[in-house]
Structure 1
Amino acid sequence: MPALSRFLRYFMAVGQHGSIRRAADELGISPSAVDRQLLNAEADLGAPLFERLPSGLRLTAAGEVMMAAGRRWQKDLGEVRDQIADLQGLRRGHVQIAIIAALAKGPVPAMIAAIQTRYPGISIGISVLDNDAVRAAIASGEADMGILLDPHSYRDLVVRAFVEVVLGVALPPGHALAARAEVRFSACADSPLIVPAHPLVVSEQLAVLEGATGLSPLRAATCDDSQMIASLVMQGAGLGILTSIDVVTEVAQGRLAFARLSDPILRPLTLALCTASVRTPSHAAAMALGEIEAGFAHLGYGGG
C-alpha cells in the first residue's frame, strides 16, 4: 500500500485502542515503527494528533479531524477496490431493486435468483412498494432500478424494457365465464366484485370504465392489495378486477381463471423496468440490469 495508507492504518489503530503497544500488536509490527509514523506525521502537520496521558493516548482536535478523514479514506478505498474488481471480472457489489407487490411471486423472483446464481459476488436488496413509491425510490437513488406500471409520464425515469399487461377479471375456475379469453365489463357487473382501491393502479382504470359504461358494480369488498383480492376470489367471495400480472401464478397453477376486459375504452398498461435518468448504473447494477432486460420480453403477462 502507499505510504499514506500505511500511516492512516497505524494512526487509526492507535486512535481506536488509545495505545501504541496494543495498536502494534493488532498490526503485527513493532511499537517503535508505529510511534515513528505518528511522530513524522505530527512533524509534517505541525500539530500533535494525540495527547500523551498516563492512561494512554487521546485524540486532539487535529487528531479528530484526521480520524474523520481516515474513515472517509477507508470507505473510498473500499469503493475503488470494488470498481477495480468489477473491471477485472470479479463482479462484486450490491444492487437495490424496487418492485410492485404483484411481482413478489412468479417470474421476477426467478429472474433475481438467476442473477444471484450467475453473479454470486453481487448481493441484491429487494423493496416491495406501491407503484408511486417504486418511482420515488428510483428517482431518489434509493433503488438502482425498479419495475412498475405506467412510468412513461415520469421524466426522471428511463425505461429500459417493457411489456404490456391487461386489465381483466379473475374468476374461480368453475365460473360460467372462466372458459372465455375476454369479456365485457357488462358481463360481470351484476356479480359480486372484489374492487381494487387506491393506490392500486387498476383502481383508476376501473373508475374510467365505470364512467364510460355507466355501470356500478356490486361491491362485495374493496381492497388495496392485489394478492388479497386474488385470495378472496379463490375463497369464493366474488370476482376480482385485476391485471394479468396479479394472478399469473394462480392461473398457471389452475387455481384461478382470467378473462381480459375487452371494453374499447380500456388501454393496456405498461409494466416497465426503469432506472433514473440522472445516474449511470454501477458495474454491478449494469450486470443485473442486463439480465433482467434479457428476460423481460418472456415474462408472459399478456393475459388472455
Structure 2
Amino acid sequence: MTDIALMYFYETAMLGTMRQASDKIGVAVSSISRQITQLEQQLGMPLIERGRRTIKVTPAGEVALEYYRTQQADREAFLNRLADLRGFRTGNVDLAVGEGFLGRSFTEIVEQFQRDNPRIELSIVSASTAEIVRMVLNDEAHIGLIFQSENEPKIRVRTSALQPLMVICSPTHPLAADDGVTLPALAEQSLCLPPKGFRIRQTLAAAELRFNVWLQPQLTTGSIHVMREIAKEGRAVTVLPPISVLSDLEEGSLVALPLMDADLEHTTIGLIHRLGRQLSGPPGRMLSLLEKRVRGWTVSSAAD
C-alpha cells in the first residue's frame, strides 16, 4: 500500500471524480484509476462504488480516508515538533471562521499571533458553520470557530461560550435609550434579519409562536456585515449575538439591548478541531491563543 495510491484515492473521494482529481494532481485519469484498483486489490475490498457519475465511497473507503487523514495529520505534528526543537518556528496554520467573528477582536488575535510567530504562514477562510465543520473533518482547516456547536462525534469542541441574542441598533435610534426591547416593540421596527433557515431566525420563530407576535423584516440577508452596516446607518434594527458586533459596541457605533421576556435560547460559540488530530507547533499555539480569547469574550458578553 503506497502513499501515492492513498493520496490519489483521497483526492478522488474529496473532489468527487477521477477527472477532477486528475486536473488537481496533474496525472492522467488512467494512472489514478490504476492506482486505486491496485490499492483495492491489496486491501481485498472495494473502496469506491463504480458505475456512478460521481464517486461514492464504500464503508471500507471511509476507513481508508480516516487512515489517510490521521497519517497526514500525525506527519504534520511530527514535523512541527522537530521544527520547534530546532528553533525554526516555521509552518502553517489554516483557520476556518464564521463571518460574524471577522471584526477588530479577531484581527487583534491574528496580529498577536503573527508578532509572536513571524515565520508562520496563516490562512483564514470565512464560511458557513456547515462548511467549517466539513473543512475541519477533512483536515482542510486545523481549527474552526463557529456559532452553534455541532453534535458531530468526530468534532472536538475545545471550548465554548454562550452568547445571548440581543437587539442591535444605532446609538441614535429611538430604541437606544431603552433598557431593553420586548418582542411586540421589536415587531414594530424596521428590521434587517437573516433568512428563515438561519439559527437566529429559528430561535426568534419559537418566541414569535409563544407570544403570537410575528416579525416581518424589510430586509433579509445572510451577511452579518450587511446587517451590521444597515444597523449602524440607523436604517433598521437587527438581532445578533454581541460577539458579531463586538468592535462596534466597543467604539460606540452600535448599541446592544436585551430582548425582554422573550426567553430566547442563547447562541453558542464553539472553538473546534477534529477529534484525534494532534495540534502541536504553530496550530497548537494558535489554538491556545484562541481559547484564551474566547473565554475573554465570554466575560465581556456577560457584562453587556
Question: TM-score, normalized by length of structure 1?
Answer: 0.69
Change over 3 Å in CA distance of 1:82–1:257 after alignment to 2: closer
Tell me how far apart the structure 2 counterparts of residues 90 and 295 of structure 1 sit (CA, whole Å): 26
Change over 3 Å in CA distance of 1:237–1:92 after alignment to 2: same
Bigger Cα Rg? 1
What residue in structure 2 maps to residue 148 of structure 1?
146
What residue in structure 2 maps to residue 213 of structure 1?
211
C-alpha offsets along residues 120-148 of structure 1, whole Å, 9 cap, x if unaligned? 12211000111211111111111000110
CA contact (8 A) 1:99 1:148 kept: yes
Change over 3 Å in CA distance of 1:164–1:81 after alignment to 2: closer
Tell me how far apart the structure 2 counterparts of residues 221 and 295 of structure 1 sit (CA, whole Å): 33
1:221-300 to 2 correspondences below 5 Å: 221-299=219-297, 300=300
1:89-168 to 2 correspondences below 5 Å: 89-168=87-166
What residue in structure 1 maps to residue 40 of structure 2?
none
Change over 3 Å in CA distance of 1:177–1:128 after alignment to 2: same
Is the helix fraction higher in 1 or 2?
Answer: 2
Deviation at 1:249, TM superposition (A): 1.7
Is the strand fraction higher in 1 or 2?
Answer: 1
Deviation at 1:241, TM superposition (A): 1.8
Tell me how far apart the structure 1 counterparts of residues 79 and 276 of structure 2 sit (CA, whole Å): 24
Change over 3 Å in CA distance of 1:178–1:79 after alignment to 2: closer
Once the two structures are aligned, what percentage of the paired residues are identical?
Answer: 21
Structure 1 stretch displaced more, 162-171 or 201-210: 201-210
Change over 3 Å in CA distance of 1:231–1:149 after alignment to 2: same
**Matched length:** 229
Tell me how far apart the structure 2 counterparts of residues 148 and 303 of structure 1 sit (CA, whole Å): 22
Tell me how far apart the structure 2 counterparts of residues 262 and 105 of structure 1 sit (CA, whole Å): 27
CA contact (8 A) 2:98 2:126 kept: yes
Indicate the RMSD between aligned Cα atoms, in angstroms: 2.4
Change over 3 Å in CA distance of 1:293–1:180 after alignment to 2: same
Tell me how far apart the structure 2 counterparts of residues 266 and 143 of structure 1 sit (CA, whole Å): 32
What residue in structure 2 maps to residue 202 of structure 1?
200
Deviation at 1:103, TM superposition (A): 0.9
Instruction: Give 5+ residue unaligned stretches, structure 1.
Output: 1-76
Question: TM-score, normalized by length of structure 2?
Answer: 0.69
Tell me how far apart the structure 1 counterparts of residues 260 and 88 of structure 2 sit (CA, whole Å): 50
CA contact (8 A) 1:234 1:256 kept: yes
